[in-house]
C-alpha cells in the first residue's frame, strides 16, 4: 500500500511562516515600532504643519542713524503683524542671526541706504528679506504697476500632510522590512538557532521566503492604520483603490524584505547588521522624498534618485493615494522595486550562511 502523502511541496514553508508569525507575538516592541511609532510621527508632524497663520518673521534692526526711521516704516506697513522687530547693536544682531534667532538683519547705512543681511540657504531668511523689502518700499511710497491678489491653498490633497503620509508609509515599510528581517536573522544566528535548522530537511529557500512573506501581514495593518489616521484626523482624500494601494505596499514590503535578507545573510553580530542597514537606508531617508520633494536635488543625480526602491515606492503610493493613478501607468516603479527585491533575494539565497 502506498503511504498517504501528508505533506506537499509548500508544507515546510507554511509551517515556517506560521512559526514566524507566532514569534512576533512574543516581541511587544515590534508592535510599538511598526504600528504605534509611525502613527505618533504622522500625528506630530501633521500637528506641526497644520493649517495655521504664517509665522511672523524675526527681524533685527542695527541701532544707529536711520534705525528708528526703518522701524517706523515697518510699523506703519499694513503687514507689520508679519514681523517681530527688535532694535539691537551690531554684534548682538549678527550673533542672533548666526544662531537662528533672527531671520533677517537690517543694517542702516548713510551711504548705501539699508543693507539686508540674510542667508540664501535658509528659506525663512529669503522670505523675510523679500517681505521686509516689499513692506519698506511700499511704506516709503512705492506703487506697484500690476494689480495682484493672493489666494491661499489649503484644500485636502495640496497640504504638506497629504504629501507626508504616503512618504511615512513607504519609509515604515522599508524600516520594518529591513530591520524586522535583518535583526531576526542575526539574532537567530547569534543564538545558534540557524545552526540547528541545518540538520532539518527544511529548504533554505522556504526558510528565507517565510521570513520575507511574514512582513505582508504586518504591511496590511501598517497601511490600514496610517491611511485611517490620515482620513479621520487630517481629512486626507484617498483617490486610488484600496487594492492598488495594498498591492503597491506588498511589492514594497517584499522588495525591502529581500534587501534586508541580503544585508543580514552573512552578518554575525547585531552591531554589524545595524551598520549595514544604516548604510543602505540612510541615502534613501535623505534622497527618496520622505519629508520633502527630491526635485530639490541637482538634475544630474535625479536618475540615480529615481532608481532607488524607496523613491519608486513613495512615488507610486503618492500617485495612487493622491491622484488615483492606475497600476498600469506605474509599471516602471513596480519594475524598479521588483528588480531590487528579486536580485537581493537571489543573492541572499546564494550567499546565506547558517553559522
**Residue environment code for 283-318, b if the CB has 16+ CB neighbours within 10 A, otherwise e:** ebeebbbbeeebeeeeeeeeeebbebbbbbbbbbbb
In order, the DSSP letters of 157-202 are TSSHHHHHHHHHHHHHHHHHHHHHHHHHHHHHHHTTHHHHHTTSS-
Residue pair 204/284 in contact (Cβ under 8 Å)? The answer is no
Residue pair 346/262 in contact (Cβ under 8 Å)? The answer is no
Which H or E element spans position 107? Answer: strand 104-109
C-alpha cell at 301: 543625480
Q: Which CATH number fits domain 57-139: 3.30.460.40, 3.40.1710.10, 3.40.50.150, 3.40.470.10?
A: 3.40.1710.10
Output the pLDDT for position 4: 47
Output the pLDDT for position 143: 76
Q: Residue 219 burial by CB count (10 A; 0-12/13-18/19+): exposed, middle or buried?
A: buried
CA of 41: how far to CAs of 21, 46, 165, 248, in Å? 26, 8, 10, 22
**pLDDT lower than 70: segments of the chain:** 1-35, 45, 47-54, 111-112, 144, 148-158, 197-202, 204, 355
Averaged pLDDT of the chain: 80
Closest by alpha carbon to 251, among 348, 335, 165, 166?
Answer: 335
Q: What pTM was computed for the model?
A: 0.71
Inter-axis angle of helices 242-264 and 204-234, nearest 10: 130
Output the pLDDT for position 31: 64
End-to-end CA distance of the chain: 42
- pLDDT per residue over 185-210, tens digit each? 787 787 777 777 666 666 767 777 77
Output the pLDDT for position 1: 44
Output the pLDDT for position 291: 85
The domain locations on the chain are: 23-49+156-351, 57-139
Output the pLDDT for position 21: 65
Helices within the chain (DSSP H only) = 11-25, 28-31, 37-48, 67-76, 90-98, 123-139, 160-190, 193-197, 204-234, 242-264, 270-287, 302-306, 309-323, 331-351
159 alpha-carbon distance from chain centroid: 15
Output the pLDDT for position 12: 65
Output the pLDDT for position 28: 61
C-alpha cell at 25: 507575538
Amino acid at each position: 500500500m502506498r503511504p498517504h502523502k501528508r505533506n506537499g511541496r509548500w508544507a515546510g514553508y507554511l509551517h515556517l511562516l506560521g512559526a514566524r508569525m507566532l514569534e512576533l507575538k512574543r516581541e511587544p516592541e515590534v508592535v510599538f515600532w511598526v504600528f504605534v511609532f509611525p502613527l505618533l510621527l504622522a500625528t506630530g508632524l501633521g500637528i506641526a504643519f497644520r493649517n495655521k497663520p504664517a509665522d511672523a518673521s524675526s527681524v533685527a534692526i542695527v541701532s544707529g542713524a536711520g534705525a528708528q526711521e526703518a522701524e517706523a516704516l515697518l510699523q506703519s506697513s499694513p503687514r507689520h503683524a508679519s514681523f517681530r522687530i527688535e532694535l539691537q547693536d551690531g554684534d548682538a544682531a549678527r550673533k542672533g542671526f548666526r544662531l537662528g534667532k533672527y531671520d533677517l538683519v537690517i543694517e542702516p547705512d548713510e551711504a548705501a541706504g539699508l543693507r539686508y543681511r540674510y542667508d540664501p540657504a535658509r528659506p525663512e531668511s529669503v522670505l523675510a528679506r523679500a517681505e521686509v523689502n516689499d513692506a519698506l518700499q511700499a511704506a516709503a511710497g512705492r506703487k506697484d504697476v500690476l494689480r495682484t491678489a493672493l489666494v491661499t491653498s489649503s484644500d485636502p490633497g495640496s497640504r504638506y500632510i497629504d504629501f507626508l503620509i504616503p512618504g511615512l508609509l513607504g519609509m515604515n515599510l522599508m524600516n520594518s522590512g529591513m530591520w524586522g528581517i535583518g535583526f531576526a536573522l542575526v539574532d537567530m544566528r547569534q543564538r545558534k538557532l540557524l545552526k540547528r535548522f541545518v540538520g532539518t530537511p527544511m529548504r533554505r529557500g522556504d526558510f528565507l521566503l517565510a521570513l520575507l512573506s511574514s512582513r505582508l501581514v504586518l504591511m496590511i495593518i501598517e497601511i490600514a492604520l496610517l491611511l485611517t489616521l490620515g482620513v479621520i484626523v487630517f481629512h486626507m482624500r484617498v483617490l486610488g483603490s484600496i487594492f492598488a494601494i495594498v498591492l503597491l505596499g506588498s511589492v514594497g514590503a517584499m522588495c525591502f524584505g529581500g534587501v534586508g535578507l541580503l544585508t543580514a545573510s552573512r552578518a554575525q553580530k547585531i552591531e554589524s547588521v545595524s551598520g549595514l542597514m544604516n548604510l543602505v537606508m540612510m541615502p534613501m531617508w535623505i534622497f527618496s522624498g520622505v519629508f520633502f520633494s527630491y526635485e530639490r536635488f541637482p538634475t544630474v543625480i535625479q536618475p540615480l534618485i529615481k532608481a532607488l526602491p524607496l523613491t519608486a515606492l513613495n512615488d507610486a503610493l503618492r500617485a495612487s493615494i493622491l491622484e488615483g493613478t492606475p497600476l498600469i501607468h506605474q509599471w516602471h516603479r513596480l519594475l524598479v522595486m521588483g528588480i531590487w527585491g528579486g536580485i537581493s533575494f537571489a543573492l541572499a539565497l546564494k550567499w546565506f550562511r547558517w553559522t
